[in-house]
Amino acid sequence: MQPIHWRYEVKDSVARLALNRADFGNSINLECLAELSTISSAIQADSQIRAVVLSAEGKHFSIGMDVAVIQQMAGQSFADYAKHLGAGQQAIDAFEGITKPIIAKIQGFCIGAGVILSACADFRISSGRAVFSLPEVQRSIGVIMGLNRVTRLIGIANSKRMAMLGEKFSAAEMLQMGFLTSTCEADQLDTAVEKLLGKILALPPQAVSLNKRIADFSYAEYLRRSQQFELEEQYPINQTDDFREAMQSFFEKRPPRYSGK
């Protein structure tokens, strides 16, 4: 199957996949995640692939989850809600579970689900002008694609700053917190990625893969439990007045008026 929402190619032992929804800020929808799952399986099964480069077409890495997906959460039965978002979580899990090294190349906005997706990579190289945020709290929802992925990188205190306040963070701040591997000028981003890729390809691939699996081993089970907790605790808040107000004010382009109900 040729993906619609991704540009995907394999050349010289490197799989390159790029979000291909530039006209929509590379927002992520459920179809996009389903394709990611298929691509991830193909990468994992191909013994000739030694490394993966994740990027995005256009100005931004990703402005986050498509607001239509968030809006659909209201009024769904728990079974439908868990089925759809659970499938999304599993797609992210499948990408992170690739045992080959993954480099994320980040530019522009890296927001919400974009942050979570990039956290699945082993290395993150960003333009110095990139902007990061987990703004879900401003839509009266929680982070539901694996906040633990961010927490393990930047620590509990910084993770709470991002998730509980929904504020924007610069690339320099994300580098200081440990989320980014390195930053560079926007016009040097490709060069920086290729330099790191060259280092990876010069190493024995089985040893690189083994060390990735060792590093991730103890973390995997805790992540699964954390994501299940996210699903179960998120559902009731989707039925609240505040959630409906968050969605309505967003589309009406006005400040929200929260009641706590």
Per-residue pLDDT of the chain (261 residues; tens, 9 = 90+): 678 999 999 999 999 999 999 999 999 999 999 999 999 999 999 999 999 999 999 999 999 998 877 777 777 788 887 888 888 889 999 999 999 999 999 999 999 999 999 999 999 999 999 999 999 998 888 888 889 999 999 999 999 999 999 999 999 999 999 999 999 999 999 999 999 999 999 999 999 999 999 998 877 777 778 888 877 887 788 888 888 888 888 788 888 888 887
Q: Domain for residue 97, yes or no?
A: yes
Res 233: pLDDT? 80
Q: Domain for residue 79, yes or no?
A: yes
Query: Which residues is 36 bridged to in the sheet?
Result: none
Q: Domain for residue 74, yes or no?
A: yes
Total tally of structural domains belonging to the chain: 1
pTM for the full model?
0.91
Amino acid occupying residue 116: I
**Rounded to an integer, what distance in angstroms lies between the CA atom of residue 166 and that of residue 176?**
18
State the residue for tokens 């990468």. Answer: 43
Nearest to 130 by CA among 65, 88, 181: 181
Q: Domain for residue 215, yes or no?
A: no
**Rounded to an integer, what distance in angstroms lies between the CA atom of residue 251 and that of residue 24?**
16
Query: 34 is in which domain, residue-wise?
Result: 6-186
Q: Collapsing DSSP states into helix, strand and coil, what is residue 144?
A: coil
CATH at residue 89 = 3.90.226.10
| Tokens found for residue 108 | 């522009």
Res 1: pLDDT? 61
Q: Domain for residue 203, yes or no?
A: no
Res 246: pLDDT? 82
Q: Domain for residue 34, yes or no?
A: yes
Q: Domain for residue 20, yes or no?
A: yes
Query: Which residues is 28 bridged to in the sheet?
Result: 65
Q: Domain for residue 257, yes or no?
A: no
| Residue 179 vs residues 40, 124, 149, 226: alpha-carbon distances, Å | 23, 8, 10, 19
